[in-house]
Every structure is written in structure tokens, then in C-alpha cells.
Structure 1
Amino acid sequence: MDTNLWDRPIEIAIESGDHFKSIRNSREAVAYLMTGWPQKGGESFAAAKRVCMDAVKGRSDSSAAALAFRAAAREAGILR
């Protein structure tokens, strides 16, 4: 398990907005970006994917990954 938790989980809407999911770290963010993201593509999506993957590999700060993921979720309309 990734012990590098974000300061605050980021909640996103899933299943047409009927349910919510908390993303707590960069590893969870990468997994959701790759498998559950509603609209792949766009600048925020690409940036979030890149920064979160770098954070998982230890090449980027986890707070930067959280900010990028939040921006992508906002752009995709799934940020709670």
C-alpha cells in the first residue's frame, strides 16, 4: 500500500454522479485515471497522469500530484 497519503482525500463522482469515491494518494489517482476516468484526453488529464505517475515513482511531490488530480477532476466535472 502507498503510505504517501495526500493531506486531504479528493472526492470524485462516479457512476453518473450517484456515488462518490475518495482518492487518497498518487497510486490511487493513477489507477483511476487509467481505468475509470470519464473522458480521456485534454491538458489537465495528461498533466495529472504525468505528475501522479512521477509521484508514484518518487520523482515528483505528492502535493503536486494532488493539485494536478484536483484540476483534472474539476475540468472533467467529477470533483465533489
Structure 2
Amino acid sequence: MYDAWFSKPVSVSTGISGDIRNLSNAQEAIELLVNHWRNEGSQKHRTALRACRQAVMGGIPADLARNAFVEAAREAHVLVE
């Protein structure tokens, strides 16, 4: 397994207070998608989770997973742009 490092971190707002987290790899994204996601179960959430899991297994490039995660974060209104 790999951490699958992103070329650029993804900033997301988390928790009730809106703390900002900068996610640097697919493993961090998986943890957030599984344990702390606002819009769990949507198509973009499932796609991002699948892509991040594939990236940590070495099946796809980390930045493809990053792109899927960004789309899911945008849909859940947690992406900090």
C-alpha cells in the first residue's frame, strides 16, 4: 500500500467549527471520507472513496484520486478554494 501523495494538497473545512485541514494524500482523504463526511453516500462520495482506495493500492495515479476527491468535497460544500 502507498500513501498516494497528491501533487498539491486539498484544503477542506471540517467539523462544526469549520477547521481547515490540508490533505496531502489519498490515505488522508480516505480517513475523512469514511469517518467525517457530510454528504456520505452520494455518487461523488462513492467515486472519490473508490478512487482513493485504488490510488493507495497503486492502481491509479494519486492525482486522479485527488480530482475525484475535489469533486466530492465541492459537492459536500467543504472544499476551501
Superposition RMSD in Å: 1.4
Other structure's SS at 1:60 match:
coil
Residue 55 of structure 2: SS of its match in structure 1? helix
Equivalent-residue separation in structure 2 for 1:54 and 1:17 (angstroms) = 31
TM-score normalised by the chain length of structure 1: 0.91
Alignment of 1:14-53 (within 5 A): 14-16=14-16, 18-53=18-53
> Counterpart of 1:34 in 2: which secondary structure?
helix
Tell me how far apart the structure 2 counterparts of residues 15 and 48 of structure 1 sit (CA, whole Å): 20
1:17, CA displacement in angstroms?
5.2
- Call closer, same or farther: CA 1:70–1:14 in 2, change over 3 Å: same
Residue ranges of structure 2 left out of the alignment (5+ in a row): none
Query: Can you give the 5+ residue segments of structure 1 that lack an aligned partner in the other structure?
Result: none
User: CA deviation digits over 1:57-76, x for unaligned, max 9?
Assistant: 11111010000000000000
Aligned partner of residue 59 in structure 2, secondary structure? coil
* Superposition misfits of 4+ residues, deviation over 3 angstroms: none
DSSP-derived class of the 1:23 partner: strand
CA distance in structure 1 between the partners assigned to 2:23 and 2:44 by the alignment: 17
Q: Percent of pairs identical after alignment?
A: 29
Q: TM-score, normalised by structure 2?
A: 0.90
Letter of the structure 2 residue corresponding to residue 42 of structure 1: S
Query: Could you tell me how far apart the structure 2 residues matched to 1:18 and 1:40 are?
Result: 18
